[in-house]
Amino acid sequence: MLTKLHDNKSAQLGLGLAGGIVFGFLLQRGGATDYNVIINQLLLKDFTVMKLMLSAVITGMIGVHLLERWGLAKTSPRPGGWGSTALGGLIFGVGFATLGYCPGTAAGAVGEGRFDAIFGGVIGILIGAAVFAALYPALDKAILNKGAFRKVTLAELLRVPKWCAIVPVALLLTLLLMALEYGGL
Amino acid sequence: MDWITMERWSPYAVGIGIGLLSCLTFVLSNKSLGCSTSFVTSAGMIGRLFSKKRVDSNPYYKKMGVTVDWQWMLVLGIAIGSFLGAILSRGLILEWVPTVWAEAFGSSPVTRWVVALVGGVLMGFGARWAGGCTSGHGISGGLQLALSGWVAVMTFFAGGIATAMLIFNVLGA
């Protein structure tokens, strides 16, 4: 691993910015910074967002795990639980459909000159994050640690070696994308 | 070089590009793509202008950090990259009310602004509650086969689909 580069703080700030520019350009060209595209995905009328996300996951899943095998990368999957991930995820979903952007695509929509993303989206997300920070000690005590997942990854859950999960999942997701195309969606 | 000015690229090409970008960030920065943490960082930086003590003693800001870091620069970069993508193709959008919203609820910027603000607050709150967003959980968690990532993406879309159906098929019908 390139640990020297990882520890170089100013180089990392530059790499973050460069990576973000590529990410933002891709999201804009994919239509993911467009409210209409996102809402039509949630209304199940346009599957662009799902196609984009699943092809990113398939490519990254194979790529990152190969890089890990070659000693060039280290995965660090986050732990989760029903009280934190699932409950928070539902709240996120309600906000996602109400706003029509997610945090990353809201930043992209700002760059594209969408005023509802600037004055509604970004400011709203900042307020939401600040409210969460203020309530964090109470939420952490009451609910965030409830129903923690005992395993971190799908491979651990199924008790199989990593690649015995990666290959079937990649194939299944590819089949799902082919079914979407075949179904004309 | 027609592709550089093309308004839309295939979602598969874009997805594969994001997957390859993920590989690069793992190798070069030991980081995975994610966005919502930087909104905490920014909220903390803004909060410090009003009450430094309150921010610095808050356990959540302590845990997440309140400095400009890799991810903060990534999110800034997203806005710049999208700006470049727009000016090199169809130009900036410069609108308050998106088409699908206007067709159902009219073209008042105030209504759209209030609803977007409420949505943003809920989403920012939910993202931090869930510990990630569509990129951090959905793409980065998904590709690492993290159970948290897969559960997050399913609940994001379950909540999102139900709410979108309620807004457009019930309230806006």
pLDDT, tens digit, for every residue of A114-168? 999 999 999 999 999 999 999 999 999 999 999 999 999 999 999 999 999 999 9
pLDDT, tens digit, for every residue of B11-40? 999 999 999 999 999 999 999 999 999 999
Q: Which residues of chain B does A95 touch, with a Cβ-Cβ cutoff of 8 Å?
A: 119-126
| Closest residue, chain B, to A53 (C-alpha) | B15
Q: What is the pTM assigned to this prediction?
A: 0.97
| Closest residue, chain B, to A117 (C-alpha) | B116
Distance from CA of B88 to the nearest CA of A (A): 10
Tell me if residue A114 falls in helix, strand or coil: strand
Q: Which residues of chain B does A19 touch, with a Cβ-Cβ cutoff of 8 Å?
A: 21, 24-25, 29, 33, 74, 77
Distance between CA A7 and CA A128 in Å, rounded?
31
Portion of chain B with pLDDT greater than 90, in percent? 98
Mean pLDDT, all residues of chain A: 98
Q: Scan residues 67-126 of A and list those with Cβ closer than 8 Å to B.
A: 67, 72-82, 84-100, 102-117, 119-126
- Are B163 and A94 in contact by the 8 Å Cβ rule? The answer is yes
Residue B95 bridge partners (DSSP): A114
Question: Tell me, what's the ipTM?
Answer: 0.97
Residue B1: pLDDT band (50, 70, 90) is confident
Q: Which residues of chain B does A40 touch, with a Cβ-Cβ cutoff of 8 Å?
A: 100
Across the interface, whether the CB atoms of A108 and B81 are under 8 A apart is answered yes
Rounded mean pLDDT, A7-26 = 98
Closest CA to B35 of A43, A101, A97: A101
Tokens representing A171? 């194939």
Across the interface, whether the CB atoms of B146 and A36 are under 8 A apart is answered no
Distance from CA of B144 to the nearest CA of A (A): 6
- Tell me how long chain B is: 173
Neighbours of B130 (CB within 10 A): 28
Tell how far CA B6 is from the center of its chain. 24
Q: Which of A72, A93, A111 sits opposite B155 (nearest CB)?
A: A93
Across the interface, whether the CB atoms of B161 and A109 are under 8 A apart is answered no
Q: Is A147 on the interface with B (CB under 8 A)?
A: no
Distance from CA of B168 to the nearest CA of A (A): 8
Residue B173: per-residue pLDDT: 81
Rounded mean pLDDT, A49-74 = 98
pLDDT, tens digit, for every residue of B144-156? 999 999 999 999 9
E strands of B17-146, at which residues?
Answer: none
Rounded mean pLDDT, A87-96 = 98
| Closest residue, chain B, to A60 (C-alpha) | B19
- Which residue's structure tokens are 């960030």? B25
Residue B2: per-residue pLDDT: 86
CA distances in angstroms from B59 to A81, B51, B53, B124, listed in the order given: 20, 15, 12, 18
| Per-residue DSSP letter, B168 | I
Tell me if residue A31 falls in helix, strand or coil: coil
Longest pairwise C-alpha distance within chain B: 54
- Are B142 and A151 in contact by the 8 Å Cβ rule? The answer is no
Consecutive H or E run containing A106: helix A103-111
